Amino acid sequence: MKTILHKANTRGHANHGWLNSFHTFSFAGYHEPTRMNFGVLRVLNDDTVAAGMGFGKHPHDNMEIVSIPLNGDLEHNDSTGRNEIIKQGDVQIMSAGSGITHSEKNANHNKEVKFLQIWVMPAKRNIESRYEQKSFPAEGRMNKLQTVVAPNNAEAVWINQNAWFTLGNFDNGVASTYSLNKPENGVYAFVIKGDVTINGIALNERDGLGVTETETLNIIADNNAELLLIEVPMKLS
């Protein structure tokens, strides 16, 4: 087993007033050559957007972009004419494919929104752009793992990559095991809340841990915790 640990306080940080963003990997003005990606996982941003504010229209292509609201609601608009509200408990994916323009903003004018935005490099380039979102109530992952993004699971949102996103909410002391879908993949674990130990490595809130050359992760919640696991190929096919 090989691991790479990214403590929360080592992430890149940019505070624009309306946007407070922490970058696990190099992004925008934060450039760290040793933190460009984990396999095909390119971006993991932890964003807080002020009430009524957001990102204006901007283009993307050939990237799988996943948004996971943690608190509050996001409003999405794109060049296909789609206008959606993404709420806490929802998971949204946009396959940028051959090209799409979109905007995202805080849907509320009286409270901030906190969300994770995650970019994964695609398996196939220049596909037709697509959008999908589904709701995943928290009770579906209470003291267990719940797959929310997958290439082969009708209950999850579909991704153009051999990648799986899994969420879990655990009470103190609960143990769980994650088995990789493909043994050659790696898993990036991100602690949304609380403290967990994964394969003997202690992690705190907003820490990240990349794990490769293993087929299972043994997870123990050291207190009440919320966890995101991102399983990805370590090389572009």
**pLDDT digits over 145-174, tens only?**
999 999 999 999 999 999 999 999 999 999
Q: What is the pLDDT of residues 57-101, one digit of tens each?
A: 999 999 999 999 999 999 999 998 889 999 999 999 999 999 999
Write down which residue in 84, 114, 135 finishes a domain.
135
Residues 145 and 128 in one domain: no
Residues 126 and 150 in one domain: no
pLDDT at 111 over 90: yes
Q: According to the model, what pLDDT value does residue 183 have?
A: 95
Please state the rounded mean pLDDT for residues 192-219. Answer: 98
Chain mean pLDDT for the chain: 97
Residues 40 and 116 in one domain: yes
Residues 101 and 142 in one domain: no
Domain boundaries, position 111: 11-135
Sign of CA dihedral 152, 154, 160, 163: negative
What distances in angstroms separate CA 31 from CA 12, 27, 36, one per listed residue? 8, 6, 8
Residues 33 and 129 in one domain: yes
Write down which residue in 135, 162, 184 finishes a domain.
135
Distance CA 11, CA 66 (A): 19
What CATH number corresponds to the domain at position 98?
2.60.120.10
**Residue carrying the six token digits 């204006």:** 56
Distance CA 37, CA 194 (A): 24
Number of domains making up the chain: 2
Say whether 126 sits in a helix, a strand or coil.
coil
Instruction: Quote the pTM value.
Output: 0.98
Residues 80 and 113 in one domain: yes
Write down which residue in 78, 112, 135 finishes a domain.
135
The amino acid sitting at 198 is I
CA angle 151, 159, 156 (to 5 degrees): 65
**Residue carrying the six token digits 């674990």:** 189
First and final C-alpha spacing in the chain: 22
Give the side-chain half-sphere CA count within 13 A for 83: 2
